[in-house]
Amino acid sequence: MTIPESELPVAVFDSGVGGLTVLHECLVSLPHEDFLYLGDTARFPYGVRPADQLLSFALELSDILLERGAKLVVVACNSATAAALPALRERLAGRVAVVGVVAPESRLAAAATRNGRVGLIATPATVASGAYDRALAQASAGRAELHAVAAAELAPLIQAGGEVDERTVACVERACGPLRDADVDTVILGCTHYPLVRPLLQRTLGRGVKIVTSGEAIAAEVERELAGRGLAAPADRRGRYGFLASGDPEEFRRLGIRFLQLPIARVGHVQVARPAPSEPAGAEAA
């Protein structure tokens, strides 16, 4: 029996388990939709990799997901979005729409800021790309100024799945210090791992600072895209969700339950091309 296109899954991919914070918001906001999540844990971290390599990864992962049937692709990785979104959209034009995390977050930040000073905490690859500078300038019509901080260690500390310890506190302090000095009133969390330490970030930044996360921005964007394309699933159905990982499925499942805050019964395994030995395979961010 042919599945109606509206009941195909929304595909989501990320460098690891961080994108599950995005998936969580989507599952809560769109309980009638099916989702298929792919975590590229075999090649985590992404955050210090060169842009051409991130583009190659994004194209490969999107092909894997489209082979399994998908009506929309969500790039739930800030580094991959910054490096690959335009090329990915061009390649998949006429097949499926592609949603990334940068523009939706920037629109929320532009709407939220009161003093026009917006902070960004992100990986080195994301900051270096300038993607948020461009997106915020467009979203605010040039009225908001971005103050970006590259945090190389924070995502790997969170991905490790341990307790929030002194290393995490010190890393957050280093990232937030320049933003406090710049008197920002809004901060974009430019990595999907960061919402896991949002309470610590909020305490460090101060209660008057508005924090913008990928999850809330993407869930609304996905809903708009599906409705605009006539692909929304019937509201009276109960959606399902599934998982794939390029690394150890059981390790993904163990960490993923903490990130998703929902049950994960099974994780399938997919094979991906490994980076050449000369390329960064164990650097410091995602």
114 and 204 share one domain? yes
Query: pLDDT tens digits for 194-217?
Result: 998 999 999 999 999 999 998 878
| Average pLDDT for the chain | 91
Least confident of 75-79, 117-121, 259-263: 259-263
123 and 209 share one domain? yes
169 and 220 share one domain? no
Beta bridge partners, 211, equal 187
**Residue numbers of the domain that contains 107:** 103-213
Is residue 77 domain-resident?
yes
204 and 255 share one domain? no
- Give me the pLDDT at residue 162, please: 72
81 and 107 share one domain? no
- For residue 1, what are the contacts with CB-CB under 8 A and spacing of at least 6? none
Catalytic residue, chosen from 26, 77, 171, 176, is 77
Spatial distance between the Cα atoms of 65 and 163, rounded to a whole number of angstroms? 33
Is residue 85 domain-resident?
yes
Tell me the one-letter amino acid at 84: A
117 and 96 share one domain? no
Is residue 279 domain-resident?
no
Spatial distance between the Cα atoms of 125 and 161, rounded to a whole number of angstroms? 22
Is residue 284 domain-resident?
no
Domain count, the chain: 2
- Give me the pLDDT at residue 1, please: 61
Q: Tell me 8's DSSP state.
A: S
Is residue 239 domain-resident?
yes
Burial of 201 (0-12, 13-18, 19+ CB in 10 A): buried
Catalytic residue, chosen from 26, 171, 176, 191, is 191
Read off the pLDDT of each residue in 136-158 and give the average, rounded to a whole number.
95
Is residue 280 domain-resident?
no
- Give me the pLDDT at residue 216, please: 79
Tell me the one-letter amino acid at 234: P
Cα torsion through 60, 36, 89, 49, rounded to 10: -50
168 and 156 share one domain? yes
Residue 176 annotated among the catalytic residues of the structure: no
Read off the pLDDT of each residue in 116-138 and give the average, rounded to a whole number.
95
Q: How many residues does the chain have?
A: 286
Q: Quick check: 280 pLDDT over 80? A: no
Q: Quick check: 261 pLDDT over 90? A: no
DSSP letters of 39-108?
E-GGG---TTS-HHHHHHHHHHHHHHHHHT--SEEEE--HHHHHHHHHHHHHHHTTT-EEEESHHHHHHH
CATH of the domain at 122: 3.40.50.1860
Percent pLDDT > 90 in the chain is 79
- Give me the pLDDT at residue 48, please: 80
- Give me the pLDDT at residue 259, please: 85
Read off the pLDDT of each residue in 81-103 and give the average, rounded to a whole number.
93
58 and 47 share one domain? yes
Spatial distance between the Cα atoms of 184 and 82, rounded to a whole number of angstroms? 23
Query: pLDDT tens digits for 224-249?
Result: 999 999 999 999 999 999 999 999 99
131 and 146 share one domain? yes
Is residue 174 domain-resident?
yes
70 sits in the region (left: phi over 0; alpha: psi -120 to 50; else beta) called: beta
Contact criterion met (CB below 8 Å) for 143 and 120? no
Residue 191 annotated among the catalytic residues of the structure: yes
Contact criterion met (CB below 8 Å) for 118 and 184? yes
Is residue 235 domain-resident?
yes
Read off the pLDDT of each residue in 11-35 and give the average, rounded to a whole number.
94
Is residue 94 very low, low, confident or very high in pLDDT (cuts 50, 70, 90)?
confident
67 and 96 share one domain? yes
Percent pLDDT > 70 in the chain is 95
Is residue 163 very low, low, confident or very high in pLDDT (cuts 50, 70, 90)?
confident
Is residue 161 very low, low, confident or very high in pLDDT (cuts 50, 70, 90)?
confident
Tell me the one-letter amino acid at 228: G
111 and 130 share one domain? yes
- Give me the pLDDT at residue 28, please: 94
Spatial distance between the Cα atoms of 19 and 191, rounded to a whole number of angstroms? 9
Q: At which of 170, 186, 213 does a domain end?
A: 213
- Give me the pLDDT at residue 277, please: 44
112 and 209 share one domain? yes
Residue with more model confidence, 133 or 16: 133
